[in-house]
Structure 1
Amino acid sequence: MAGRGSRLRPHSLTVPKPLIPVAGQPIVHRLVKDIVKVLNQPIEEIAFILGDPAWFGDDVVSSLESLAQSLGAKATIYRQDQPLGTGHAIMCAKDSLSGPAVIAYADTLIRADFNLDPEADAVIWVKQVDEPEAYGVVKLNEKKEIVELVEKPDTFVSDLAVIGIYYFKDVAVLKEELQHVLDNNIINGGEYQINDGIKGMMAKGKIFKTGEVSEWMDCGNKTVTLETNQRMLGFLTADGEEQLVSNSVTLENSKIIEPCFIGENVSLINATIGPNVSIGNNCTIENATVKNSLIQNHTSIKNANLDEAMIGNHVKYNGEFTKISIGDYSIME
């Protein structure tokens, strides 16, 4: 999770993208919890690869340590000081690369329910997509084993897109192959890639299988993040496992149209909220209608009719626009 999340600016200018909340929880928190739920086995360690300490500071580290502890695991923090690719990022955590492991990129969310194939040396999670030419896809043989990774194929290879989550029965094998990639300066797209390590494993006969997810939700930019927020609220409402509207919410001549997430100490005055809205803690929304939107903490909204809006922390907004994207500490009055 070392990237700067430039496509999600202005929201990622003050908060690292993996810590931007979706449906009330930071993206990386939801991802880690969902992976742990899918694996359904004890997790000993969660290693987080972060970027510059000036950006991913002590508050980020504390948040991630608390996340790991809540799942019965220890947190290990590593730093990637240069953006040299996925293979390089993974090798920044080489001291943790032993035994069974999952590797995941922290800007995507999933819904899945399956058992890991005991015959596989590794599993690559995939999702069936309508436009495979826009993705990296897997090629399968007659045994349903992955035999090739193809990036944005010009001709049809398969419609199973790689979503950026991998399982390795012994991740030390990947570590060995990625060390070969680094030592021999094997570069694709100007970076050291995990795919070159995986291809090395395949060349030595390691068996790769697919694990399919039922849902794959991106958080790369404002539009898809709002879509992911909407879909996640629907899933959470159907699951019934989380309280989505805090008991501390005060309503004055207002109504909530589910599904919504509303945090602590939120005041709604002459407001209609929902559907598909997430609101963080300590917000006030007055004389407003808000739907299909994501609002973070300590924000005041007045005299607004918002749809497909994404609003950061400590914002004051009073205006007539609907599809807005406002970063932290902004004022529009």
Structure 2
Amino acid sequence: MSDTNTATAQTNTGTPTAVVSVKPVVLPAPGRGEDLQVRVSAPAAGGDLPVVVFSHGFGWSMNGYAPLADHWAAHGFVVIQPTHLDSRTLGIPVEDPRTPRIWRFRIEDLARVLDGLDVLEAAVPGLTGRVDHDRIAVAGHSWGAQTASALLGARILDSDGVPGEDMSDPRVKAGVLLALTGLGDDLTPFAAEHFPFMKPSFATMTTPALVVAGDKDQSPLSTRGPDWFTDPYTHSPGSKSLLTLFGAQHSLGGIPGYEVAETTDENPARVALIQHLTTAFLHSALTPEDTGWQTAATTLGEAPHPLGELRSK
């Protein structure tokens, strides 16, 4: 049984936009040990809607990240949120034999969502025929950003520094990578031992992306400072932008949810800036004639913002 909720959200112009959200939509997942549970949120009206598939951070689920999912859906996107195997809602123990491969199951979850778009579309009342399957973006926060980056072309290096399998997906046209961890050369000994998949190469991450990093995000997994989170921008090819948020820690002001325990730097204004800029980026990346991102980037470049700065290449 799925739950259907209708919420009213605000567009940038203040016009109310109804959002319909359905959960859980279940996609069969042979070999995963658990079928894939998904939340789908979409505008109640409109057609040719682009898609954003969002990968949550460690321990979260399809129920998190309302500040982003609700905002994007209210501004014209179909937002799809799978629940990965590391979710606290599933309670899978550390000793589970799937644990070492959860990073890979996560990537497969996103591909499975893309394969099942017809099923997901049909699960939302009134959505059938309104989704543009050719305009797809992926997004993610923290571990979710690493998951999403694989579909953009990032690859995992083995112990000899050789790039592993290419898991990029040509269906994905753009990405938003929030607090994506950096190069594996800078892992702490604990992280290097327990998280061998945290050794990315961004050299082949060619799909356009917006990288978002906090300048106070000090990770216990890295021997470096917050600039570690700028590696995905620095070490990837062009068609990338980097939004550096002043004073932001790993939750970037509160994107996982409102008043959640993990947010140590709650800042509604910072979250609002992320909402505005990610929405503009996604619209322009998936609709080339849309100039909203160019306008927003120019404005931020010409008039320094107290909450962040933007660079592009």
Normalising TM by the smaller chain, what interval?
A: under 0.3
TM (normalized to structure 1)?
0.25
TM (normalized to structure 2)?
0.27
In our comparison, the structure showing a higher alpha carbon Rg is 1
